[in-house]
Amino acid sequence: NNSTKSRAGYKKKFDSLGLDIPAEAIFSSSFAAAAYLELTKFKESGKKVYVIGEVGIGEELDLIDVPWFGGPDDKGKEPDMGPGGKLEVDEDVGAVIVGFDRNINYYKIQYAQLCINENEGCEFIATNCDAVTHLTDAQEWAGNGSMVGAIKGCTGQEPTVVGKPSPLMVDYLEEKLSLDKSRICMVGDRLDTDVLFGTDNGLRTLLVLSGVTTEEKLLSPENTITPDYYADSINDFFMDAKVGAEKAA
């Protein structure tokens, strides 16, 4: 669900770890946003995209030749809020994509809300709605849900979510690669995105406890999302993944 990198960006990370993973085998939420626009034939509209986010989204949009602006280029910008001040927006913006942005500011929020509220038919697209994320090992940090929430609050609109747990990515994989969903296992550390993505879309699920979800939270009577299997970490993937949480409880 991390949209800050494109597939090429993630490939560099895999390369640094000694893993030979082709970019075409990587599916990030930045790619999901571009895939959604491709599936809906957005390019044929001749419209542009305004981006709240980091480099990953723009790099993926470049690959499908969809014009965009904003993103890192709007870092540090401030709207004119003096007497008579107003922010002019491009009337050709037909979609606003909101991804995780460590440089979110009032200019970006205002630009996005004007596009969505004033440009007829402008789509509001979110890469994900994660409440928190892990930027450091010391604490949880506000996730993309906080940025999406800001735009929801000033537009009254619900976004089209393209990342987990939305079915878009698995539908895309099934169509493009002719994959059998019953043979896919979704591995992740979040119940409300990773595991829910799997259970909602007919996949097997493996929860790893090395991220945001603790075993206590998983086995709590208040938890309603149950993976097929869970393990302490990805290191156990080929070892003894524990039986489904429901049985283990």
Which positions make up the binding site for substrate?
A: 164
Residue type, 216: E
Residues making up the annotated binding site are 164, 189
The β-bridge relationship of strands 123-126 and 93-98 is parallel
State the DSSP H helix or E strand holding residue 97, giving kind and residue range, or none if neither: strand 93-98
E-only strand ranges, 47-184: 48-52, 68-70, 93-98, 123-126, 132-133, 141-142, 160-161
The β-bridge relationship of strands 204-208 and 229-231 is parallel
- Euclidean distance between CA atoms 243 and 249, whole angstroms: 10
Residues making up the annotated binding site for Mg(2+) are 189
Query: String of b and e for 41-75 (b: at least 16 CB within 10 Å)?
Result: ebeeeebbbbbbbbbbbbbbbeeeebebebbeebe
- Euclidean distance between CA atoms 128 and 33, whole angstroms: 10
Residue type, 86: K
